[in-house]
Amino acid sequence: MNFQRMESFPPPDRVSGLPPSSKPSNGDEMMDPRPEWLATAHHLFLRTERKLTAAQKFHAAVMGTFLVSAMNLVFLFQHNPAHENLWFALSLFLLLPSVVLVPFTWATRRSLSRKRNDLARRFFEQGLSVDPLGRLVTLEAHSKVVLPLPAITESPPAELVAKRQAA
Amino acid sequence: MPLKRPPEYPAGIQTALMLALCPLFLLFALLPMDSVAQMTATMPLIGIMWYCRSSLQDEEAGGFHHMLIMVLGTLITLRYITWRAMFTLGSHGLFNTTFTLVLFAAEVYSIGLYLLGLVVNAKPLDRPLLTMADLPARTEIPTVDVLVPSYNEEAGMLEVTLRAALAMDYPTDRLRVHLLDDGGTDQKIADPDPGKAQAARERRRTLRALCLKLGANYITRAKNEHAKAGNINSALKHISGHLVVILDADHIVTTDFLDHTVPWFIHHDDIFLVQTPHFMINPDPVDRNLLRSFDRMPSENDMFYDTIQRGLDFWSSSFFCGSAAVLRRRHLDEIGGLQGDSITEDAESALALHQRGYRSVYVAHPMVAGLAPETFAAFIIQRMRWAQGMTQILLLKRPFLASGLRWYQRIGYMSSMLFWLFPFARLAFLLSPLAYLLFGVEVYNASLREIFAYAIPHIIANYTVTNTLFGRTRWPIISEIYEILQCIFSLEAIIQVLLNPRKPAFMVTPKGDTLDEDFISPLARPFYILNLAVLLGFIGGLWRLYLYPLTRDLTTVVLLWNLFNFFTVVASLGVLFERHQRRSSPRMPLHEPGWIETAQGERLPCEVDDISAGGVRALVARQGAKQGLDDLVHLVAYSTPLGRHVRIPCRVRGNHPVHERIALGLKFETTTEREANDAVTLAFGDSARWAFFQQRRHREFPFWSAIRLLVLLVRKPIAQHLGVLLRHTLTGLSHIRRLPRMRPATREISTSD
């Protein structure tokens, strides 16, 4: 473990309970002896990762629907096949919601991705990373488990809620 | 240990399913459609592929989404090549027809190789990491002979290799290490050139003394026959161990190499080979001269060792790569030692043993650190040898017909060997747009709409599939640069083999070179011509756009194709600008804690930042760093393989601030054998460190980032080469300007005479 890095935990952000990013310090940071922000950040990272996977799948599904319906319309306009009206209605039925949803799914995916990357970067700055099993481990050849895989819940941890309320 | 394999359905059901699906698959591949129908059919397929790509995060290779991507990709590609064959080959005139067929043949070759690659890499195998500790108590441990063939490598490099081999974690009475010196043979010593003979004598004396000091065995032979294979076969007569480890002269093993490889031979009697990856601790010329991202980008051979060999292993056809492998002596004797019909004796021997029904195993854990060629010329020598050797095996051994192989082993070997014919295809892809832009040769008879309907989906599908299979170990577009760099020289080498398969001779790859200054590679000339041709292509294209309004669509597409070629060809110029390389032993990042004990008895905590065979860079706190140059200190660091702290004397060679700390450059100055062994083990003994380094580099790189990188890469090579050309021109001009001053002086002398 890289003790020099671990000894200098930055204080948690007052709103999110997370450590500040690597932006230049204003000099009033204090050493935080309590690494509980790690547990919070770890928990949040795993939840974000899971949400991101779901968002990616949903976005791809919406985009796929959009592509299929749009291409179907192109085909209908070019070839006038049998049961044209039925296919036309079906394509429109799929196209309209997918057109509306695509920007939202894209934005959701992007914001989750940025959030996940931001957390990963903060772990990296502390010489830590989340391994494929979801454990928080030290970033070195013979890695040590800092935090095991927590039970992921839908609601944010009570500690985080309390900090938000306090803020 | 039983391997975890996917559940297998009865063979009858599998066959019935395949037979039922094949006609459907072929029907869709061959069904005639107009452009619009084709586009409307393929775009949803690409949408599905895209969806599957985003669902891969928690799925291991070979899962449902992987398979679906490959099936759909194959479908789109087959539709493309069918359309190409049926509708785009119409041409008039011999010149046109020839170019059209050459391009089509290149595409057929690429798609054929791609389909073989899909089969090979469908399910890369993850072998468990066995260990000797898990063996039953009374298991008989086999004796192991480690062979280090050498030709012209220096003693310093060989010392590190031998020390590491001797330090392997294995019963000492069961391990013997042999240096096979081909640079000090009787033939070399009797060389008619007295200088060469003296150098050979000196080499033999030095290496024999080195072996005596380390406890290794020095072996040489009478004549230099059959290169490396001959050297090893000659040594086999003097040794009798159950297993043979072959290590190149620059390949340094970790202490757990035998611990993770030997158990496979104990568990299975029919295994003839356990191959492990070659982990390169220095960047190759492409990385060093152009990309400069050794610690971020997967190494070039990672694609082969981390994906393809594992894929081949699933199909029982992973093959011997010349080093970093253990072979069973009994099996090797059955085929009369290493085969010598080709210059890639490794793959040839593996093929012969696979034909006899023996099995190979690939353990994808890096346990051998080696050196990549430093210069572009050395890189090309190595690649030409591989290309020639594999083509020799293809022609002489014919794996597609060879008896004893299973159908999947034939596919594996054909995929590995046909790959080396890529120079033909790569050159066709480079020259075809030029043929159209400069000479109006209609190599690709298609409208813009057809290109959008067939070619673009094929390219997208191809990229998606390739990225799914190799995304972590090969960044997009990097393969193109590597292929362009090799294609011109490899093409010539392959043609030589095609004309006379037995002609090529073994060429030793130079390793561990140091380069004193920047220079342009002597092999740069063909690339200047290629760059010039591509630039002329743009001029020809603009001229065609202006003169032939009816073909503007097609010309635009071909110009875009030429633009892509331009970027890759210019980027390859950057590789030809050889950057200086003064350090002979490459450094690897470490980031582990330690102490520095000063002569005054102080103990400074430090972070060992990087390490090489010759020394370390240690970061110490600013207030504690009072070491001057040439001070003698001791580095104390924990060595995981040894399970203890090691204390190594070092000389301070550098001292400069880094952020808030001081970086001390420390050179090992070992005085005892134990210290020297500890230094080698500290630097190279820990395989977990190589695995960690490799895993951090294995990550996907987005396509658009790769395009951006390629565009950004273009500026630098042009500036570098123009700078050198300008410097040479100015030097030449100043030389010319000096000439008239010299002439009168000459005249004066002649007058006085």
Q: Report angle CA B168, B171, B174 to the nearest 5 degrees.
A: 100
Q: Please report residues of A whose CB lies closer than 8 A to that of B607.
A: 2, 4
Searching chain A, which residue's CA lies closest to the CA of residue B43?
A67
Q: Give A8's pLDDT tier (boundaries 50, 70, 90).
A: very low
Alpha-carbon distance of B287 to B713, in angstroms, equals 12
- Interface contact A63, partner B, CB < 8 A: yes
Q: Quick check: B54 and A75 CB within 8 A?
A: no
- The stretches in chain B having pLDDT less than 50 are 1-7, 742-753
Contact B381, B292 (CB under 8 A): no
A71/B39 Cβ within 8 A: yes
pLDDT at A27: 37
Catalytically active residues of B are 182, 346
pLDDT over 50 at A10, yes or no: no
Say which of B43, B48, B593 has its CB closest to residue A3: B593
Beta bridge partners of B369: B252, B279
A125-164 residue pLDDT tens: 888 999 888 889 988 888 888 888 776 555 555 665 666 5
Chain B positions touching A68 (Cβ under 8 A) are: 43-44, 47
| Token pair of B45 as six digits | 């397929």
DSSP B73-112: HHHHHHHHHHHHHHHS----SHHHHHHHHHHHHHHHHHHH
**pLDDT for res B1:** 41
Q: How far apart are the C-alpha atoms of B554 and B445, rounded to whole Å? A: 9
The beta-carbon neighbor of B47 closest among A63, A75, A141 is A63
Nearest CA in chain B to A81: B37
Token pair for B35: 């452009």
Out of A2, A56, A68, name the one closest to residue B591 (CB). Answer: A2
The reply to whether residue A63 touches residue B688, judged by beta carbons under 8 angstroms, is no
Residue from B716, B678, B612, B580 nearest B163 by CA:
B678
Chain B residue nearest residue A63, CA to CA: B47
Gap between the Cα atoms of B56 and B62, Å rounded = 10
How far apart are alpha carbons B491 and B562 in whole angstroms?
21
Cα B196 to Cα A12: distance, rounded to the nearest angstrom: 70
pTM, 2 dp: 0.86
Query: What's the complex ipTM?
Result: 0.73
**Confidence (pLDDT) at B617:** 93
Rounded-to-integer distance, Cα B363 and Cα B263, Å: 12
> Do A60 and B689 count as a contact with CB atoms less than 8 A apart?
no
B640 touches chain A (CB under 8 A): yes
d(CA B382, CA B380): 5
End-to-end CA distance of chain A: 33
- Rounded to 5°, the CA angle A52-A55-A59 comes to 140
Mutation site for B-interface testing, chosen from A8, A68, A91, A112 by largest number of B Cβ within 10 Å: A68
**Region class of A147: left (phi > 0), else alpha (psi between -120 and 50), else beta:** beta
How many Cβ atoms from other residues are within 10 Å of residue B195's Cβ? Answer: 8
Contact status, residue B470 vs residue B696, Cβ threshold 8 Å: no
Block residue for tokens 């914001």: A111
A144 in contact with chain B, both atoms CB, cutoff 8 A: no
Which of A4, A63, A75 is closest, CB to CB, to B40?
A75
What's the rounded Cα separation, in Å, for the pair B489 and B15? 45
Give me the phi and psi of B144, to 5 degrees please. -125, 130
Residue-level pLDDT at A162: 67
Per-residue pLDDT at B57? 63
pLDDT, tens only, B210-257: 999 999 999 999 999 888 999 999 999 999 999 999 999 999 999 999
Q: Is A90 on the interface with B (CB under 8 A)?
A: no
Interface membership of B51 toward A (CB under 8 Å): yes
Q: Does A4 sit within 8 Å of B57, measured CB to CB?
A: no
Q: Which two tokens stand for residue B211?
A: 């072996």
DSSP assignment letter at B599:
T
Chain B CB contacts of A64 under 8 Å are 44, 47-48, 50-51
Q: Is residue B481 classed as helix, strand or coil in its secondary structure? A: helix
pLDDT at A134: 87
pLDDT at A67: 85
More confident position, A14 or B256: B256
Between CA B95 and CA B97 the distance in angstroms is 6
- Residue A117's pLDDT band (cuts 50, 70, 90): very high
Using an 8 Å Cβ cutoff, are B513 and B378 in contact? yes
Q: Which tokens in the block code for residue B231?
A: 């050297």
- Run of H or E including B145: strand B144-150
Using CA atoms, how far apart are residues B286 and B486, in angstroms rounded to an integer?
11
B592 has a chain A CB within 8 A of its CB: yes
User: Could you say which of A72, A74, A140 has the minimum Cβ distance to residue B692?
Assistant: A140
